[in-house]
Amino acid sequence: MPEHDIACAIIEGRVAAEVVLRTSEVIAFLDHRPVFKGHVLVCPIRHVDTLLDLPDELVLPLIGACRRLAAAMLPAVGAQGTFVAINNVVSQSVPHLHVHVVPRSKGDGLRGFFWPRTSYAEGEAAAYATLLREALNA
C-alpha cells in the first residue's frame, strides 16, 4: 500500500470519513471535496490500484454497490440522476481504485466536466473500431 493512500487509511480506520456503506468487499464514503453534496467514493476494501487491476470476483460487488448508491441518491438528496466515473492513472488523485457516484439534477450547473468532443474523418471510425476489436480478441 502506498503511504499516501487515503482510501486504505479510511478502510483501516486510521483516518475518519463519513462511511455510508461497508461490506466485506467494498466501502463507500463521502468525498471530502464533493462536486455536489452527497458525492460518494466507492472503493474495494482490498487494495487495488486501478480498474485494470480489479480481480473478477470484485467487479460485481463494486459495481453493485455503485448501483445501490446511485439509486439511493434519488430519494436521499433529491437527485434526478447520477454521474458515475472512474479515473485510471490519469487524473487519479488517489492510488486506490475508487468510483465517483455524484448526484445530479437538471440545471445543476455542472459544465466543462468532460473533455472537448471531436469527430471522425471518413472511414476513421471503422479503423478505430477494428483496432479495438482486434485488441479485445488478442
CA angle 125, 131, 136 (to 5 degrees): 125
What is the chain's Cα-based Rg?
Answer: 17
The whole-angstrom separation of Cα 83 and Cα 70 is 8
Question: Is 32 part of the annotated catalytic residue set?
Answer: no
- Kindly name the residue from 39, 96, 98, 100 that is annotated as catalytic: 98
* CB-based contact 38:101 (threshold 8 Å): no
* CB-based contact 18:29 (threshold 8 Å): yes
Bridge partner list, 26: 44
CA 93 to chain centre: 12
Just list the catalytic residues. 98
